[in-house]
Structure 1
Amino acid sequence: MPEAAVALEKFKSFFSNFKEVLIKLNAMDSLQIIGGLVVIALTFLDFFHTTLSGNGFGFISRELNRLLNRLIIRNRSRSIYRYSGLAHLLITTSVWLGLLFCGAFLIFTAKEEMVVNGSTFLPATEDERFYYTSYVLSTLGIGDFVPGSETSRILTGILSFTGFILITTGLTYLLSVVQAVLSKKELAFFISTLGGDVEEIYQFFKKDQNLDGLLSDANDLRKQILQNASSYLAFPMTNYFLTKKRNSALIVQLAILSEVLMVLRMDWKEGSIQHAKLCTLINAIEKYLDLGLEGPDKDLHNQEKLDTLRSFWQKYGHTFKKSTEMDRRFTSSLYYAGWSWKEVYKMKEQL
């Protein structure tokens, strides 16, 4: 306990001294320092919400990535898709670093004494303060420029620590995103092995009259879908790793699987084990969509076109019900991944 008391006293003394130094500065200088601290605080709030909260993007990252995604989707060539994930990661990280740098630079330019030459102790120029800010945030220090006041020394220590946190946490987040992307592709490839299009997958399951094979794999498949849904929420950046290949696009493969499951469910009465198992799989897919980044966009959904595509099932004696919320969510998710319902119903020979 004595050690805890000493640490508490040091903590109080630190902020007391910091407050006294701020009071000595004129109002404009204090406002500039406070402004820089606010920029840094907002940056880290967005950074930690995105990387550690498990609840999707922070406000800045969400709007930035949505804008970037729309710019990529509007590009008519899908060759750019292979670089989409990399672009999102690099640009988002650059914005975090840029905001952190701007906040720190505001602080170090607030007063002449904030940064001085290490030999002459003369105030540094703006170019030299830019140089000093870069070295502080990279946690390096050559010593040619040093803090020139108590306030600057305190803030230099804090900012060098924040730079270290952003870099190390960012690298950990990067590895987690890559792992989540690989998991998405693994599930997409698994579904694609069941058949090359909706008809092949339907016929694959219909070969087994009681759906014994599907029922035995249902729990494992449902678990994989829900795991990817959780990754979708925890690492929303994975949604922006686009692909131009249908068999590796999870949203397309889930749409294909969902359509087949909806048709298969029509063959079974409520209360049967087959109907119940099919419902659990459909519910898992619906949960994946609920946790997605894109809400249903009414302007994108065209029920008439979807009904036309679904008329394919009439040859098997099935007719789909009218539009559902799930249909609208699929439409939006497909669109913002660079796909459409037309490609979901594209036959293998048309690929």
Structure 2
Amino acid sequence: MLRQLLWIPGTLMVLAVMVDLIVTCLQSGEGRLGRAVHRPLYAALTGAARLTGRRALLSWTAPLLILGTLTAWTLLCWLGWTLIFWSQPGSLLGSESGTPATFAGTLYFVGYTISTLGLGEITAPLPFWRVLTAVASINGFFLLTFAITFVVPIAQARGDRRRLALHLHRAGPGAQALILNAHTDHDRSLLSLTSDLHTMLNDVDAAHLNSPYLHRFHDHDPQDALDLHLPALGEALLILQGSMTGPVPHGLGRTLASIDSMTRTFERTHGPSPVPVPPPPDLTRLRDAGLILKPDADLHAHLHAHADLRRRLHAMAHAGQWRWDEVAELPPTPDAA
């Protein structure tokens, strides 16, 4: 009797996978099933990186989470259809022996059906089960199609992330280095931190809105690490907005809005972080370089008004296991003691 009810959990498994595929690939988000797979795998890998002190382990977040998602979708779909066919004795027969298929035989039949191989070693004798076999095969085709739809945009988005990170790495690295190098070594001066980056930031922001799980992907090399360089850019723009005596660079508000949007998507993906608001920066070296800035008290008041954004920037860097001084400070001068 219990066996005949197994079609219920089997059907729920198949539907859960299909809903998760649609939400993840078509409705710009992260399905509950995918989230349930990502969170423990991500927590385990980041925890191992912290315990061992090997930040290089974080570079495996992308392949681990992608493989985990695809495996979960495939196994649940496979098991779900197996339970559906297994729930009715005699729904499947050996093509030569004519005897009812065992559970292992049913599992094998479903495997080659959803993979669209169609080997024919086990067959469905009744029309109803033949129709379900066709449905399972179509389901397998959709599973493969959606898997490709899931992986390809991730590869494209990771390329955009690395391009933006590399651009900021070469322009900095670090918040104050971004400002100083733009001021002294760029033909568009501080505009290189705003209008020149606006389109690139919009593309990366849109990718993270569509696929928020991208915030769980990390890169090992500093030059590729968006979770290092985006907080640095955000801190640099806040410094400019709160300390410049003249008009701020054109497009600063729009660029900062894109950064704010990405940090909010990050927080929705990771949840609230316990990291504190970082301390105000020391702008002595910027002043020494010739930048005319407002008194520190004005900057501190401005940064206090944007404390939530700065906390999210700190949380993003912390998730990538970067220190705040790597984000915000100028690197030491070559002749520093």
TM-score by length of 2: 0.84
Matches within 5 A, 1:135-284: 135-207=112-184, 212-215=188-191, 218-268=194-244, 272=247, 274=248, 277-284=251-258
C-alpha contact (below 8 Å) 2:161/2:226 kept by paired residues? yes
2:276 is aligned to 302
Distance 1:267 1:331 in 2: 20
Specify the SS of the correspondent of 1:207: helix
Distance 2:273 2:72 in 1: 31
2:38 pairs with one of 50, 54, 65: 65
1:130 is aligned to 107
Which residue identity does 2:234 align to in structure 1?
A: S
1:12 is aligned to none
| Alpha-carbon distance change, 349 to 137 in structure 1, aligned in 2, over 3 angstroms | farther
1:324 is aligned to 307
Q: 1:294 Cα shift?
A: 4.0
Q: 1:29 Cα shift?
A: 5.7
Which residue identity does 1:61 align to in structure 2?
A: G
Q: 1:331 Cα shift?
A: 2.7
Q: 1:279 Cα shift?
A: 2.1
- CA displacement 1:223-244 (0-9 Å, x = unmatched): 2112101111223343233112
| Alpha-carbon distance change, 194 to 212 in structure 1, aligned in 2, over 3 angstroms | same
Which residue identity does 1:73 align to in structure 2?
A: T
1:345 is aligned to 328
Matches within 5 A, 1:32-111: 32-54=6-28, 56-75=29-48, 76=50, 77-111=54-88
Q: 1:325 Cα shift?
A: 1.6
Distance 2:38 2:267 in 1: 10
Q: Which moved more, 1:123-132 or 1:181-190?
A: 123-132
| Alpha-carbon distance change, 216 to 275 in structure 1, aligned in 2, over 3 angstroms | closer
Distance 1:214 1:203 in 2: 9
| Alpha-carbon distance change, 150 to 298 in structure 1, aligned in 2, over 3 angstroms | closer
Q: Which moved more, 1:63-72 or 1:103-112?
A: 63-72
1:291 is aligned to 265
C-alpha contact (below 8 Å) 1:137/1:162 kept by paired residues? yes
C-alpha contact (below 8 Å) 2:7/2:87 kept by paired residues? yes
Q: 1:198 Cα shift?
A: 2.9
Identity %: 22
Which residue identity does 1:263 align to in structure 2?
A: I
2:283 pairs with one of 285, 306, 313: 313
Long gaps (5+) in structure 1 = 1-26
Distance 1:62 1:154 in 2: 33
Which residue identity does 1:291 align to in structure 2?
A: T
Which residue identity does 1:313 align to in structure 2?
A: L
Long gaps (5+) in structure 2 = 288-294
Q: 1:290 Cα shift?
A: 2.2
2:290 is aligned to none
Which residue identity does 2:208 align to in structure 1?
A: Y
Distance 2:270 2:145 in 1: 36
C-alpha contact (below 8 Å) 2:194/2:250 kept by paired residues? no
C-alpha contact (below 8 Å) 1:243/1:249 kept by paired residues? yes
| Alpha-carbon distance change, 151 to 269 in structure 1, aligned in 2, over 3 angstroms | farther
Which residue identity does 1:338 align to in structure 2?
A: Q
Which residue identity does 1:64 align to in structure 2?
A: V
